[in-house]
Structure 1
Amino acid sequence: MASTATPQGSLRQRNVPGSKKKVGTGPGDDTELDTLVRSAKQASVAGSEWDYKIALAVITVLAFVSRFWGISHPNEVVFDEVHFGKFASYYLEKTYFFDVHPPFGKLLFAFMGWLVGYDGHFHFENIGDSYISNKVPYVAFRAMPAILGSLTVTVTYLIMWESGYSLPACIVAAGLVLLDNAHIGQTRLILLDATLVLAMACSLLFYIKFYKQRHEPFGRKWWKWLILTGFALSCDISTKYVGLFAFVTIGSAVVIDLWDLLDVKRPGGGLSLPDFGKHFAARAFGLIIIPFIFYLFWFQVHFSILSRSGPGDDFMSPEFQETLSDNVMLANAVTIDYYDSITLRHKETKAYLHSHDARYPLRYDDGRVSSQGQQVTGYPYNDTNNHWQILPAEVETEQQMGRHVKNHDLVRLRHLVTNTILLSHDVASPFYPTNQEFTTVPLEDAYGGRSADTLFEVRIEGGKNGQEFKSVSSHFKFIHNPSKVAMWTHTTPLPDWGHRQQEINGNKQLAPSSNVWLVDDIPSLPEDHPRREKPEKQVKTMPFLKKWFELQRSMFWHNNQLTSSHPYASQPYQWPFLLRGVSFWTQNDTRQQIYFLGNPLGWWLASSLLAVYAGIVGADQVSLRRGIDALDHRTRSRLYNSTGFFFLAWATHFFPFFLMGRQLFLHHYLPAHLASCLVVGALVEFVFNADPSSEEASYQAIKSGKKPAPGPKRHVTARERFSGQSMVSAWIACGVIMAVVAASWYFFLPLTYGYPGLNVDQIVRRKWLGYDLHFAK
């Protein structure tokens, strides 16, 4: 599925006197229909090229004006600029940070900051912080997405032009993106979506250009557009992981194309298996291997720049952190000996392992009975009830004093304040009936009949046998030895009987990183003790792929954890109908606000025509089953192949979101919205220019075996094909659509640009679907 436009070329002489009529034998050989269609396209381009170029120039200029107009307002941090502006500053300071998104889009911001000489001193801590007083070149940062967003409009136009659509169709598709408030709003701020949407649009354009070279496979242009398609796909997924949907779009089209090449019944016959293997390998190289190489490259740049310790250290292993200079955690690491007093802290929630005299209740709210043992909880503050003494598994002897604790050692923990030993047993925890309760027992029980239940294994993450156990740097899982459950906690507070502290229980799933703990300090060790000496640490190296795999695991895990509710989150079924937006910024004194919202009339038109397209295809299929052929060949081919490709792009960028459990927002629909605009432009062509041309007559003649009429061949130009009543109707439709969409765009501009401020009545008039706008009363 792709554009049906064919490459330009000269008309080959097929009917040479005395020769047999030649039939194409593969994608590199032209059938007579391909030749006729291609030559007609060549004349079409020549006849209307200047019209298309002038319209392209005008639309591009308007795109830049609409994105850059008033870009300096507001002169303070807006919405997620707190994240991506901060990341650009960290790049410029070479300070390691962690984010769930790949680095490409953020590197572009850092590059822009570097170009204007910014040093990264401002960290974008809070929404509303002033750029002016902090001397931040924020206009330069915002200019990057504004440039990319403007070029997205240009690329949208080029997609339609390259696909062979009429000028009104090109203008409608590009105009819907040009006049869309959501695309404008998202590309005027320091956000990643401008990069994502442009890369997605470029992947469609480059693949169409590649497909148009199908008659000259493995040629220079064929390879160029294949590689560029792969590069665009790489930029897409290297900005956000939802860029994977573009791979699904292009991959689906490639599978259909390869399946067609394999068909021996196709005109010219199918490819031989060796030739098919070459086509398959070339596409795999250009669309899988090349994108993956570029994807790795951006991470290599990421690691090369971020050489200093920073706020992202906590997300990485100690081995990774040893590759960063000035790492405080490693500098403060102290080897732990038996009989040391230690405090244990949960890596994810930062809660301390804590205990106190209070007991578990006899019965929980669901009727289950507890052990009524001493409570063991997670506590956010450090006090003496967090102090535990680490004891060896074997009987205590004087020889154990001063011996280092090592990886995989079996140990006991003594709670110093209550003089009891930590224990886990086969009793259900308060919140998780499938998890084990943690409690403590007196010393006589710990070294008597319940001795085995008090043994725990220290399992250092990524540690080697015999590796020393250290404070701060040794991230470990505390595994109950008899039952093989991991000590775990979570943020849901216990009821009042548990003082609203965190539950500690035994998790049967050992693999999750949420089971990881660390020793925060050794209170029993004096500050001037020789073990606390901090010799200068040498920065170590780590293989790139090992660092990359570790970061990938951490990124995917934290991405999946973004499940908490958000006041402006929305569901996919709400997006095509624009049921709600997102509040980006407000200014109480001036009653100004930026509310992220698409152009309602444009979105509703696009969503309606998506349904119309599905209905047209369904009606055509039913008609064909009943023996009614209502469409000519060219129109049906365009409807199923080119428009179908755009519809496929919309579907693959929309429906996968229904499978996600993470937070979702309106901006996730922007790539799908661009694809829906392409469908709208294509349907304008279908409705108003669906008249059979001379191409169709030639095609029917070839099918029936008739010879072309005698006389000189004459090409039909675009001015002739797209002329008369159909073109007048198309231009009228184009004008009406653009006028209506422009009116809606203008009406919502104060919410997109953040000025001027609106009074209560003006705001209420813009609450078309109950949008949760500020200052409405």
Structure 2
Amino acid sequence: MSNKATHASGASSDGAELRRRNVPGESNGSAVPTQAEVDNKKSHKPKSQSSILSTLDEYEFLIAPLIFTFLAFFTRMYKIGLSDIVTWDEAHFGKFGSHYIKREFYFDVHPPLGKMLVGLSGVLAGYNGSFEFKSGEKYPEELNYTFMRLFNSAFGAVCVPLAYYTARELNFRRPAVWLVTLMVLFENSYATISRFILLDSMLLCFTFTTVLCWARFHRLRHESFSVEWFTWLFLTGISIGCVCSVKWVGMFGTALVGFYTIEDLWNKFGDLKMPKVELASHVSARVVGLIIIPVLVYMFTFWVHFLVLENSGPGDAQMSSLFQANLRGTEVGKDSPLEIAYGSRATLKNMGYGGGLLHSHVQTYPEGSQQQQVTCYHHKDANNDWFFYPNRNKPLYNPEEPIEYVGDKDIIRLIHSQTGRNLHSHTVSAPVTKADYEVSSYGNTTVGDEKDHWTVEVVNDAASNDWTKIRTLTTSFRLKHTSLGCYLRAGNVNLPQWGFKQIEVTCVKENKPRDVYTHWNVESHWNERLPASDPGSYKSPFLRDFVHLNVAMMTSNNALVPDPDKQDDLASHFWQWPILNVGLRMCGWDDHIVKYFLLGNPIVYWGSTASLAGFFVLIGWYLVRWQRGYQELKPIEIDQIHYGGIYPVVGWFLHYLPFVAMARVTYVHHYYPALYFAILTMGFMLDWVTRPLARTHKTIEWAIYGVLYVVVISLFILFRAIVFGMEGDNKQWRHLRWFEKWRITD
């Protein structure tokens, strides 16, 4: 087999082949030159000039990315400290970084890796974590925000050489490789969003590494089980774990690698010549490399997250009571008596993922019974306190009588400490979950009926097999309505604004013992008649906390839906992104503020979107001709379309379509991972359609690419102010407002 065919099939990975990036079945624009042709060229050029050009050509794979990388660091870091105010989502992620520095537990909808890196940048900058990162507030002199931004921008700069090598691994020819690299380098939105203390540059960086590792692993498919093959397989898995640990959007890149893996193994399954042991080895290697390793990386970031955040903080209430009791400085379980007795005042924590504290307030339901509302609330509040009282068939509670403990199967009343009303349910439908019964607060210690009665059903106890008593933190139990037979439940359904968006509490008719949203535990407990204990001595298992936090994150993420009562000027719709219909103001727009506008390079957006459409035209063209009996494509060319074209298009759909379907509020930066796959598609399309010119009219081919290079660079320069910062009156950039939605000027 010739070097040319070996290279196109991916069977060879030697340095010479990597330096000569060929279209399948072709060399870099022409056939491999013969020695006579080389000698003929040398006769027309001075020897020194030929030697220099030959050296530059041979080491282009090192020289070009070095130049591109230098420019990348310039575009991402130039004047990065110009604005000294907290800009856009720096208010969120800078604050989360502060929590790591102060080691305070917090809650957020994103996994922890990116925010831990933000915290690391703060540590390296000598920041003590005291700044609150309020939006629009000026950074204090002692906070080296410029260094923190520089640290973050490095991830964005690294994306440029990653794009270069990815295009090479996808077998694009040199002009297309340069075009892809320049489109990433001079993409205004990539450069802008990399300049702040955000997660997006890290997300993009690990998305790029995932695609590069996958592409390289694919090129080594004929060298299975070699050291290099295993290296890139495991690097792909590590990269998947990292991108998913920054934002869950990384799951879409994981899906792309998953589709490739399924196809690859399916093809191997159909190879009857492959020994079954070898097939089993392929499956096992991919299970380890692409499933186990990413999961371990993802879980490791949470292990570090829990290890670092050892102090009580603003996110405690999202976690289980037992987890909170193990945090330093927590009030949960502090000096609480261990066993619950009648007359005890306590808070009840729902044990469902993301569950809150049983809560009531003086406001009433606007419909239904119109009695006092009962909800679940995540924040510490006196309205979360309830008294354990005997049922109405027993004598009234008397603090002078001997202590009587609450245990399994006991029938009790729960009385709201602030209003004195009983926890109550009846056959009125719940306000949102109509199939369940409404739960309210009704009557008082003397006024009420049997519908104030609840039967305690112990589910388990983390510290004891003795279920005769309810213990603080460790005992999980259900509350069964004694009269109706339903169970107290808080299922993460939010009430409307009249219920302050708090979680709806209902009495569910179905008896599902494993439904964790019907499980409760005592979080805090006060009773002067009982001795204090240390319930925090019982440790919360990591796996339980890991699952609990991830489900809570998912629940909160799904709750990020547009509020019809509020207008969000920064939000945008999915259809606006590929056509660059809208941008985003990242800060205030006063004349004295350095302003940044999140907007892409027009040729990058429009060209890449047009390439997506053009790709389907190309596929349709070849399908029609194939149906008519034409067989113009060689297998090696079909392979190039498959892996160099189809997979980037699939990657774009995987990263774009979820935002079409999801109901949550969306912004322009949600399109940035998908944009990269559109850029790769444009690189493929131009590489493919200019192949004939590479053989016959090399000058015309380079002229086409040269025009594109100039347009990409020129538009970046034209819109450079929105990247590097607009100072003064925004009207001086009126010429950049090509469309009404580009709100660069007032």
Q: Which moved more, 1:380-389 or 1:83-92?
A: 380-389
Counterpart position of 1:127 = 135
Query: How far apart, in 2, do the equivalents of 1:421 and 1:281 lie?
Result: 58
Q: Return the letter of the residue paired with 1:733.
A: I
Instruction: Give SS of 1:241's match.
Output: coil
Residue of 233, 237, 245 corresponding to 2:244: 237
Residue of 206, 209, 218 corresponding to 1:211: 218
| Cα distance, 1:383–1:194 mapped onto 2, change above 3 Å | closer
> Does the Cα contact within 8 Å between 2:346 and 2:522 map onto a contact in 1?
no
Q: Return the letter of the residue paired with 1:745.
A: F
Residue of 656, 670, 694 corresponding to 1:654: 656
| Cα distance, 1:226–1:608 mapped onto 2, change above 3 Å | same
How many angstroms does 1:490 deviate by?
4.3
Please give the TM-score of this superposition, normalised by the length of structure 1.
Answer: 0.78
| Cα distance, 1:243–1:386 mapped onto 2, change above 3 Å | closer
Written as runs of structure 1 = structure 2, the 5 A alignment for 1:283-682 is 283-331=286-334, 333=336, 336-340=340-344, 352-354=359-361, 374-376=371-373, 389-393=387-391, 394-396=393-395, 402-406=403-407, 409-414=410-415, 421-430=422-431, 433-438=434-439, 440=442, 446=448, 451=450, 453-458=451-456, 463=461, 466=467, 478-481=479-482, 482-486=484-488, 490-494=494-498, 505-507=506-508, 511=515, 513=517, 529=528, 531=530, 540-565=538-563, 566-590=568-592, 592-631=594-633, 634-682=636-684
Query: How far apart, in 2, do the equivalents of 1:345 and 1:543 lie?
Result: 18
Query: How far apart, in 1, do the equivalents of 2:15 and 2:59 lie?
Result: 21
Q: Return the letter of the residue paired with 1:396.
A: P
Residue of 705, 728, 734 corresponding to 1:734: 705
Instruction: Give SS of 1:391's match.
Output: strand
Query: How far apart, in 2, do the equivalents of 1:96 and 1:168 lie?
Result: 50
Query: How far apart, in 1, do the equivalents of 2:315 and 2:446 lie?
Result: 45
Instruction: Give SS of 1:486's match.
Output: strand
Counterpart position of 1:261 = 268
How many angstroms does 1:484 deviate by?
1.3
Instruction: Give SS of 1:644's match.
Output: helix
> Does the Cα contact within 8 Å between 1:486 and 1:507 map onto a contact in 2?
yes
> Does the Cα contact within 8 Å between 1:318 and 1:475 map onto a contact in 2?
no
| Cα distance, 1:739–1:458 mapped onto 2, change above 3 Å | farther
How many angstroms does 1:477 deviate by?
6.3
> Does the Cα contact within 8 Å between 2:341 and 2:403 map onto a contact in 1?
yes
Counterpart position of 1:759 = 730
Render the CA deviation track for 1:214-249: whole Å, top value 9, x for unaligned: 222211111111111111111111111121111211
Residue of 61, 67, 73 corresponding to 1:64: 73
Query: How far apart, in 2, do the equivalents of 1:170 and 1:384 lie?
Result: 63
| Cα distance, 1:636–1:419 mapped onto 2, change above 3 Å | closer
Render the CA deviation track for 1:43-90: whole Å, top value 9, x for unaligned: 999994333433222211111100001111211211111222122222
Query: How far apart, in 1, do the equivalents of 2:455 and 2:578 lie?
Result: 53
Render the CA deviation track for 1:423-445: whole Å, top value 9, x for unaligned: 31112245554332345358888
> Does the Cα contact within 8 Å between 1:635 and 1:690 map onto a contact in 2?
no
Q: Return the letter of the residue paired with 1:679.
A: T
How many angstroms does 1:668 deviate by?
1.9
Render the CA deviation track for 1:693-735: whole Å, top value 9, x for unaligned: xxxxxxxxxxxxxxxxxxxxxxxxxxxxx4651x323322222
Q: Which moved more, 1:324-333 or 1:181-190?
A: 324-333
Counterpart position of 1:116 = 125
> Does the Cα contact within 8 Å between 2:11 and 2:220 map onto a contact in 1?
yes
Render the CA deviation track for 1:87-142: whole Å, top value 9, x for unaligned: 22222222222222222222222223333333322232x11222234x21212211
Q: Return the letter of the residue paired with 2:413.
A: R
How many angstroms does 1:160 deviate by?
1.2
| Cα distance, 1:340–1:309 mapped onto 2, change above 3 Å | closer
| Cα distance, 1:403–1:730 mapped onto 2, change above 3 Å | farther
How many angstroms does 1:395 deviate by?
1.6
Q: Return the letter of the residue paired with 2:288.
A: F
| Cα distance, 1:738–1:515 mapped onto 2, change above 3 Å | farther
Query: How far apart, in 2, do the equivalents of 1:79 and 1:73 lie?
Result: 15
Query: How far apart, in 2, do the equivalents of 1:384 and 1:546 lie?
Result: 28
Residue of 74, 79, 84 corresponding to 2:93: 84
Instruction: Give SS of 1:99's match.
Output: coil
Query: How far apart, in 1, do the equivalents of 2:473 and 2:171 lie?
Result: 63
Q: Return the letter of the residue paired with 1:678.
A: L
Query: How far apart, in 1, do the equivalents of 2:147 and 2:77 lie?
Result: 11
> Does the Cα contact within 8 Å between 2:322 and 2:536 map onto a contact in 1?
no
How many angstroms does 1:578 deviate by?
2.3
> Does the Cα contact within 8 Å between 1:352 and 1:382 map onto a contact in 2?
no
How many angstroms does 1:610 deviate by?
0.7
> Does the Cα contact within 8 Å between 2:171 and 2:640 map onto a contact in 1?
no
Query: How far apart, in 2, do the equivalents of 1:627 and 1:574 lie?
Result: 41
Instruction: Give SS of 2:249's match.
Output: helix
How many angstroms does 1:156 deviate by?
0.5
> Does the Cα contact within 8 Å between 2:596 and 2:725 map onto a contact in 1?
yes
How many angstroms does 1:623 deviate by?
0.9
| Cα distance, 1:76–1:530 mapped onto 2, change above 3 Å | farther
- Structure 1: 5+ residue stretches without partners: 12-32, 365-369, 692-721
Counterpart position of 1:50 = 59
Query: How far apart, in 1, do the equivalents of 2:137 and 2:590 lie?
Result: 15
Written as runs of structure 1 = structure 2, the 5 A alignment for 1:692-711 is none
How many angstroms does 1:519 deviate by?
7.5
Instruction: Give SS of 1:215's match.
Output: helix
Query: How far apart, in 2, do the equivalents of 1:645 and 1:180 lie?
Result: 22
Aligned residues: 692
Instruction: Give SS of 1:569's match.
Output: coil
Q: Which moved more, 1:511-520 or 1:197-206?
A: 511-520
Counterpart position of 1:103 = 112
Q: Return the letter of the residue paired with 2:481.
A: H
Query: How far apart, in 1, do the equivalents of 2:166 and 2:380 lie?
Result: 61
Greater Rg, structure 1 or structure 2?
Answer: 1
Residue of 252, 257, 262 corresponding to 2:259: 252
Q: Return the letter of the residue paired with 1:127.
A: S
Q: Return the letter of the residue paired with 2:116.
A: L
Query: How far apart, in 2, do the equivalents of 1:680 and 1:36 lie?
Result: 20
Give yes or no for the alignment of 1:747 onto 2:712. no
Instruction: Give SS of 1:760's match.
Output: helix
Counterpart position of 2:50 = none
Counterpart position of 2:12 = 7
> Does the Cα contact within 8 Å between 1:341 and 1:387 map onto a contact in 2?
yes
Query: How far apart, in 2, do the equivalents of 1:500 and 1:652 lie?
Result: 32
Query: How far apart, in 1, do the equivalents of 2:658 and 2:376 lie?
Result: 40
> Does the Cα contact within 8 Å between 2:336 and 2:533 map onto a contact in 1?
no
- Structure 2: 5+ residue stretches without partners: 1-6, 17-22, 35-53
| Cα distance, 1:341–1:74 mapped onto 2, change above 3 Å | same
Identity, % of aligned pairs? 27
Q: Return the letter of the residue paired with 2:743.
A: L
Counterpart position of 2:39 = none
